[in-house]
Chain A
């Protein structure tokens, strides 16, 4: 891979991390309300996968979706405005953190229901196949979702019909407080795919280049009409399930280990870039500074954006019906 492309991957990972750090800070300050699930620690997965996609390809995302959206090219200004509940946000303030979509970039939405995206991803892949558009759909999901029945219906039919979908499992090892060992009776989620005669790999999800490479192969298979692939990416979330999570279920040592420089995705990739591509500290600093500036701008945009008009609560339920308010 060329240096420019590698630095792009690095920039995307930093953008996700810095956006999430900003979001967590804004939550603590009371600017963001509701549920906020950060992606810090898992940046290599969305980055490595989406670097293989164009705006025309589809993704379905999860409740922990900011990383997927950023990697797929979503606009930080519109994302942050949505997180702040403003009229200018992606969903006009009607969706919030868990419901951001941007169909112009193939982002079919984050999803508040664990396992909710599996069959929708198959639907988008169905369209691609029926219309012969050569598009693919990436279905992101967590380890907990592999215990949802929806995952099995989707994997079964995707494999049966050779739909151009790639199932990307972000195995961060915890479904809220439930450790994976108490959630599924197998060591690797990728084992699920065997039952559907679907190629599957288990990889280090904190290695952005490994993710990129496996996704590249899977997407190529999908585009060739050879059907779905299951990629299990082992990873870890740095923060609690949601902001405000007491996080009383994970050993401190475990968290520390996953945050260490030789385990966490960004520090590892920095080291790789320095050793193999001669990237300098100054280059990293410049990239980070430009992301910081983008986030400052996005924050200004969001903070200065108007709140939603009350009447907007009644629209967009249907294309052609405006709901009624109360008579008083």
Chain B
């Protein structure tokens, strides 16, 4: 095992795949000489040259459209959308085009494209650079969506995403890029659709994604001192969803709290909670509670931003409400 930054794990995963397959290439804004806005493509231009690492103009439709069109014709693009907020500029190419090619054209096409994007807030970048829009993507049949919370998961899931023959979106929380963790020295994919129990416990299951996994772990630690044993399950993959692992945990704890950084209204967390309600109703001893951002745009001032985005204390309160 080696210790790496989350951003280094992403870079190393892409590098590994570029070495392994000459059709893999990177495309996006400021991913070359600038090393990517969060450093996740650092050094790739220097190592592979401009024929494998393409800095683009500020044109999200072109980035995603070229990625999709080249994926259809034999390339394996790894496209970066600087912030997930900007993917909305390319919604047609992602949601109407890439996601639907295989189905609407009758199954003859493969779209092996990876679309990486920074999600989430916490850097005071306000309403248009801080959203958590993963729920929009999960809503669209044809897309797979993964959300690694650790460097190890980032490395393994990005390898899996690049090798996948379908469009895969990788959500990367902006505050995770500079976090470190132990990562395997061998470059093995983590299967898309496999959840990970980040901490075992017996009283309540907390299903959390991205940065909220870490906040949930902090909450679990605090509550342990009060005698509450919290199990933290990280789905890692929002679709396909590893219901088996999540439901196994709930069968044990009989309680579920879902924590994401999305605005609660219409969120992926609602999809998760409704799945639990439909499939696990008889096993539950309490209502399901969701923790999310408030239903406002993300504000700028630190007091407001940290109020709107869910914090560890919110998770503690939510857990207490189901005990």
Contacts and interface: CB of A to CB of B under 8 A. Distances in A.
Interface of A: 58, 60, 82, 89-92, 94-95, 99-103, 108-109, 111-113, 115-116, 118-128, 130-131, 149-150, 153-154, 156-157, 160, 315-321, 323
A94 B69 contact: no
A127 B75 CA distance: 6
A304 B64 CA distance: 41
Nearest to B105: A101
Interface string B92-117: 11001100011111111110000000
Most B C-beta atoms less than 10 A away, residue of A60, A103, A128: A103
A130 B51 contact: yes
A319 B57 contact: no
A156 B61 CA distance: 11
Contacts of A108: 69, 72-73
Given A119-B66, A157-B66, A124 B73 contact: yes
A120 B106 contact: no
A103 B57 contact: no
Contact of A119 (B57, B62, B102): B62
A130 B70 contact: yes
Interface in B45-59: 51, 56-57, 59
B240 interface: yes
Given A92-B107, A127-B74, A318-B144, A122 B101 contact: no
Given A89-B106, A317-B142, A319-B165, A122 B65 contact: yes
A260 to B, nearest CB: 38
Most B Cβ at <10 Å: residue of A82, A112, A153, A156: A153
> 5 nearest interchain CB pairs?
A123-B69, A119-B65, A91-B106, A316-B107, A120-B69
A318 B102 CA distance: 7
B68 A120 contact: yes
Given A82-B106, A122-B65, 19 more contacts: A91-B104, A91-B107, A92-B107, A94-B107, A108-B72, A109-B104, A111-B97, A119-B68, A122-B66, A122-B69, A126-B66, A126-B75, A150-B61, A153-B62, A153-B65, A157-B56, A160-B57, A316-B106, A318-B144
A131 B74 contact: yes
Nearest to B27: A126
Contact of B59 (A90, A130, A156, A316): A156
Interface residues of B, number: 40
Contact of B106 (A92, A112, A160, A317): A92
B109 A103 contact: yes
Nearest to A92: B106
B266 interface: no
B71 interface: yes
Contacts of B74: 127, 131
Interface string B139-150: 001101000000
Contacts of B102: 316-319
B82 interface: no
B57 A99 contact: no
B141 A323 contact: yes
B177 interface: no
Contacts of A109: 101, 104-105
Interface of B: 25, 51, 56-57, 59-62, 64-75, 92-93, 96-97, 101-110, 141-142, 144, 165-166, 240
B239 to A, nearest CB: 9
A200 B72 CA distance: 28
A108 B92 CA distance: 16
Contact of A116 (B70, B96, B141): B96
B30 to A, nearest CB: 15
B320 to A, nearest CB: 35
Contacts of A60: 69
Nearest to B77: A123
Given A113-B92, A130-B25, A103 B62 contact: no
B229 to A, nearest CB: 34
Nearest to B143: A318
Given A101-B109, A113-B92, A319-B165, A123 B70 contact: yes
B157 to A, nearest CB: 16
B126 to A, nearest CB: 24
Contacts of B51: 130
Nearest to B106: A91
Given A113-B97, A126-B75, A319-B165, A91 B105 contact: yes
27 contacts: A91-B104, A99-B105, A103-B72, A108-B69, A109-B105, A112-B96, A113-B92, A118-B65, A119-B68, A123-B69, A123-B70, A123-B72, A127-B70, A128-B73, A130-B51, A130-B70, A131-B75, A153-B59, A316-B106, A318-B102, A318-B166, A319-B165, A319-B166, A320-B165, A320-B166, A321-B240, A323-B141
